[in-house]
Amino acid sequence: MAFQMTRRSFLQASASAALTTALSGWLSSGAQAQSGFVKKPFTAPGSFGDTTTVSGGVCEMCFWRCQLVGKLRDGKLVKLEGNPKSVDNGASICARGNAGVKLLYDPDRLKFPLKNVGKRGAPVWKRISWDEALDECASRLQGVIKKNGPQGIAIFPHGASATYPMHFFEHVVGTPNNSEASFFQCRGPRDMAYIHTFGVEASESVDMPNAKAILLVGTHIGENIHVSHVKQYLKGLENGAKLVVVDPRFSSSAAKADIWVQIKPGTDTAFLLAIMNYLVKKGGYDKAYVKENGEGFDQFVKAIAHAELDWAAKICDVPAAQIKEVADLLAKNAPHVSIHPGRHVTWYGTDFQRERALACLTGLLGTIGAKGGFVKAKGPKLGKVAWPHVGTEHAEEFALHKMAEKHIFSPPGTPTQMLRDAAISGKPYPIKACITWGQNPIQTIPGQQETIKMLQQMDFVMVVDVMPTDITMYADILLPELSYLERYDIVKTGVQWNFNDKHQQYIAPRMPLVSAVSADHQRKDSVWITNELAKRLGHAKEIQVPTAEAMVEKILAGANLSLAQIRKEDGIHLQPGSDPYGAVYPVKFFNEDLAEAGYSGAPNYTPVPDPPKGFARLVYGRVPVHTFNRTMNNAWLNAEIPENPIWLNQDTAQKLGLKNGDRISLVNQDGVVSANAGILKVTQGIRKDTIFTAHGYGTKNPAMTNAVNKGFDEQSLITNAAVDPETGAHGMRTSFVRIMKGGKVLNIPA
């Protein structure tokens, strides 16, 4: 059928009265179906065209605290990025930082207060109201306080949000039994060793961007990612710094090293002593600095005089010539040498002494305050929020290590091993309530069976967390906390990442990027939870701030700032900084206090047990996309590295008939078998006496639906942890393992 008429002429003609009437008649008849379309502005896939940018985020996918902005669409966070205003991480964040989006919207997250109506370890949860939860927590804590005193409460905190409740229980309630994983299973020996050598904390205060040589002992930057730290390290290498890496394993850092010292595990202190002894004898150290700022240098020289190159070479299983080469390289580039203090240093229970050796080497080379050396940034000053110390005296009186006169150089809190032993034995006093806040002691503390025993003997266990980690299975009351993207908490400060750039200080409070309120959950922040507990425990008058937001305001007020001002400044306040170079610290080469307390006044080497025949030493580290067990359930990160790799020497693998990619289990010296398998990585890049894996896998909580039954929990294999005598921190590279495949145990050939 062909029309003479065109559409155009028809449409013109359609103005005719009859058609107009018919059209409006039809339109008003209401006989049209609903349109199959909705109006929706176009957004190109992957674009952020219709998002709004919210600043003020501070990351907590690890604890480096990079500054963030969030891209939101209709109130939903769709992407995280580095805050372009940041002089620290800048616009960069790591894989974990990016994956914060998936933590925020993880369907496995804790949502409501829960009461365990089943058993500890095999919970049956019942949702309860906040009032009921808080009333029960308070009355049961009060019960323990009445019966056992405040010291009957133990707290296991971790992370910025746990500081406020931790100080409440320490300083107001008055318990000394606070075990921070960040000290006793991580940095404690380093922090205390440097304080007792230089009088200041080590942090990671080495000026790597401007160094001519960098020494990493066991530190594997690149597998362990802290954005500005990685930037510093890479800038140093880019600027031509020589890199020395001491590691039994060909780590990502070893791969960039000028000298890779493939040391026998547990012997690092011998290596360091030999270097120092060699430099002293040769006169290859900073005599002026040592003369002016050294203390007990002669005693130190005498104490390490035995540490000849050959002596160390034999112990460390590396050529004497290589030790000499390292010593010469460091001396040649001094004082522009970064002797890295490390971060996770709880290895063998002899770690305080190794850290002392690192600090002494730092002093010996005169690197303190020098370009490329040990340089502490001069950060901004802030206000403070502190609980009144009404219970501190009581706490000190009942501090276990002080009562036993042990671990005199313990970091703040109570050494975990002592705390757990006391809880299990009831001596010297009972510990009957346990609070964990952001820490997962099942996977952070060696000796899981003892930890579980400790938990089972408690009258009350309260857990506050974001995710259903292993420890949550042991809670009587489980409280859901807001994530770092939904709450106010710390104020991050620092300076520009490279001291060579314009000196700037920054102040960046953690502010919520998304709403803390939503119909599908009732999560709360730690300030609110603690205050509600404080009110119920009769400590309302000690409360210093009503909300987390008010706490941050008060801290900022100390710098003449406010949240409103920070918001105006896109989440980060910048102010002029000052030159950090030229600082002078005394160096206690020989520490009288240590000697008086019965420890070695000069750094000393204590041998650690060798693997029994048929076993290799189990060492662990990190993979760059995970932060311990905290990120294991994250959908994106889990997809990247879902199971832990197990590094095994190539010759060993060949002898045992194992190949790359095999799924193997490990069995330790006490017959403990890893619950799941790991993926074998066959490599020349590891010693035959050493097996390496990544920490944090193998959650046993089925509520972690992405992570459960993937990989194995290497902490379950650490059943013979050592304890550092000076600090009381754990040593956790003490386990020896054999391989299990297809139900058969395979001995590791020598």
State which residue, 27 or 564, has the beta carbon closest to another protein: 27
Contact 104, 512 (CB under 8 A): no
Report in angstroms how near the CB of residue 78 gets to another protein at its nearest: 17
SS3 state of residue 739: strand
State which residue, 11 or 288, has the beta carbon closest to another protein: 11
Binding to another protein by residue 6, rule CB under 8 A? yes
Report in angstroms how near the CB of residue 17 gets to another protein at its nearest: 10
Copy the structure tokens of residue 474: 């042991």
Size of the site for another protein (CB under 8 A): 34
State which residue, 50 or 421, has the beta carbon closest to another protein: 50
Report in angstroms how near the CB of residue 46 gets to another protein at its nearest: 14
Copy the structure tokens of residue 713: 């929990």
State which residue, 8 or 384, has the beta carbon closest to another protein: 8
Binding to another protein by residue 7, rule CB under 8 A? yes
Binding to another protein by residue 386, rule CB under 8 A? no
Binding to another protein by residue 31, rule CB under 8 A? yes
CA distances from residue 425 to 450, 606, 711, 723 in whole angstroms, order as listed: 11, 30, 33, 18
Q: Contact region for another protein (CB under 8 A) — 3-11, 172-180, 336-344, 560-568?
A: 3-11
SS3 state of residue 565: helix
Sign of the torsion formed by the C-alpha atoms of 640, 106, 58 and 627: negative
| Angle in degrees, CA 385, 388, 393, rounded to 5 | 135
Report in angstroms how near the CB of residue 74 gets to another protein at its nearest: 14
Residues 306, 274: Cα–Cα separation, whole Å: 8
Task: State the binding string over 651-680 for another protein (x if CB under 8 A, else -).
Answer: ------------------------------
DSSP state of 614: B
State which residue, 39 or 146, has the beta carbon closest to another protein: 39
Report in angstroms how near the CB of residue 16 gets to another protein at its nearest: 7
Smallest Cα–Cα separation from 633: which of 468, 523, 521, 483? 468
- Residues in region 533-562 near another protein by CB under 8 A: none
What element of type H or E holds 79? strand 76-82
> Which amino acid does the sequence have at 216?
L
Contact 43, 78 (CB under 8 A): no
> Per DSSP, what are the bridge partners of residue 574?
506
What is the distance in angstroms between the CA of the first residue and the CA of the last residue of the chain? 93
Residues 259, 319: Cα–Cα separation, whole Å: 12
State which residue, 36 or 743, has the beta carbon closest to another protein: 36
State which residue, 10 or 131, has the beta carbon closest to another protein: 10
State which residue, 23 or 745, has the beta carbon closest to another protein: 23
State which residue, 38 or 122, has the beta carbon closest to another protein: 38
Binding to another protein by residue 76, rule CB under 8 A? no
- Residues in region 34-73 near another protein by CB under 8 A: 34-42
Q: Contact region for another protein (CB under 8 A) — 5-13, 336-344, 427-435, 530-538?
A: 5-13
What element of type H or E holds 132? helix 130-148
- Residues in region 10-29 near another protein by CB under 8 A: 10-11, 13-14, 16, 18-20, 22-23, 25-29
State which residue, 9 or 578, has the beta carbon closest to another protein: 9
State which residue, 40 or 541, has the beta carbon closest to another protein: 40
Residues 648, 616: Cα–Cα separation, whole Å: 10
Smallest Cα–Cα separation from 329: which of 275, 368, 248? 275
Report in angstroms how near the CB of residue 76 gets to another protein at its nearest: 17
State which residue, 6 or 515, has the beta carbon closest to another protein: 6
Report in angstroms how near the CB of residue 28 gets to another protein at its nearest: 8
- Residues in region 717-746 near another protein by CB under 8 A: none
Q: Contact region for another protein (CB under 8 A) — 7-15, 134-142, 363-371, 643-651?
A: 7-15
Residues 352, 183: Cα–Cα separation, whole Å: 12
- Residues in region 435-474 near another protein by CB under 8 A: none
Report in angstroms how near the CB of residue 47 gets to another protein at its nearest: 12
Report in angstroms how near the CB of residue 573 gets to another protein at its nearest: 41
Angle between helices 268-282 and 309-316 (to 10 degrees): 170
State which residue, 41 or 576, has the beta carbon closest to another protein: 41
Binding to another protein by residue 1, rule CB under 8 A? yes
Burial tier of 713 (Cβ tally within 10 Å: 0-12, 13-18, 19+)? buried
Copy the structure tokens of residue 372: 């490329």
Burial tier of 705 (Cβ tally within 10 Å: 0-12, 13-18, 19+)? middle
State which residue, 16 or 565, has the beta carbon closest to another protein: 16
Report in angstroms how near the CB of residue 11 gets to another protein at its nearest: 5
Binding to another protein by residue 32, rule CB under 8 A? yes
> Count of alpha carbons within 13 Å of 194, Cβ hemisphere only?
23
Report in angstroms how near the CB of residue 1 gets to another protein at its nearest: 5
State which residue, 20 or 500, has the beta carbon closest to another protein: 20
Give the count of beta carbons closer than 10 Å to the beta carbon of residue 83.
28
Contact 676, 698 (CB under 8 A): yes
Q: Which residues in 641-663 are b (16+ Cβ under 10 Å) and which e?
A: bebbbbbbbeebbeebebeeebe
Report in angstroms how near the CB of residue 104 gets to another protein at its nearest: 23
> Per DSSP, what are the bridge partners of residue 508?
492
Contact 385, 542 (CB under 8 A): no
Report in angstroms how near the CB of residue 134 gets to another protein at its nearest: 42
What are the residues whose beta carbons fall under 8 Å from the beta carbon of 515, sequence distance 6 or more?
Answer: 75, 486
Q: Contact region for another protein (CB under 8 A) — 6-14, 118-126, 585-593, 657-665?
A: 6-14
Report in angstroms how near the CB of residue 71 gets to another protein at its nearest: 20
Report in angstroms how near the CB of residue 48 gets to another protein at its nearest: 16
Binding to another protein by residue 564, rule CB under 8 A? no
Q: Contact region for another protein (CB under 8 A) — 4-12, 114-122, 181-189, 225-233?
A: 4-12
Binding to another protein by residue 255, rule CB under 8 A? no
State which residue, 13 or 517, has the beta carbon closest to another protein: 13
Q: Contact region for another protein (CB under 8 A) — 30-38, 56-64, 262-270, 595-603?
A: 30-38
Contact 434, 414 (CB under 8 A): no
Contact 683, 649 (CB under 8 A): yes
State which residue, 5 or 122, has the beta carbon closest to another protein: 5
State which residue, 16 or 139, has the beta carbon closest to another protein: 16
> Count of alpha carbons within 13 Å of 678, Cβ hemisphere only?
27
Residues 250, 648: Cα–Cα separation, whole Å: 11
CA distances from residue 143 to 211, 389, 432, 453, 540 in whole angstroms, order as listed: 57, 22, 10, 21, 18
Report in angstroms how near the CB of residue 12 gets to another protein at its nearest: 10
Contact 374, 411 (CB under 8 A): no
Report in angstroms how near the CB of residue 9 gets to another protein at its nearest: 10
Contact 712, 698 (CB under 8 A): yes
* Length of the chain counted residue by residue: 750
Report in angstroms how near the CB of residue 2 gets to another protein at its nearest: 10
Interface with another protein (CB under 8 A): 1, 3, 5-8, 10-11, 13-14, 16, 18-20, 22-23, 25-42
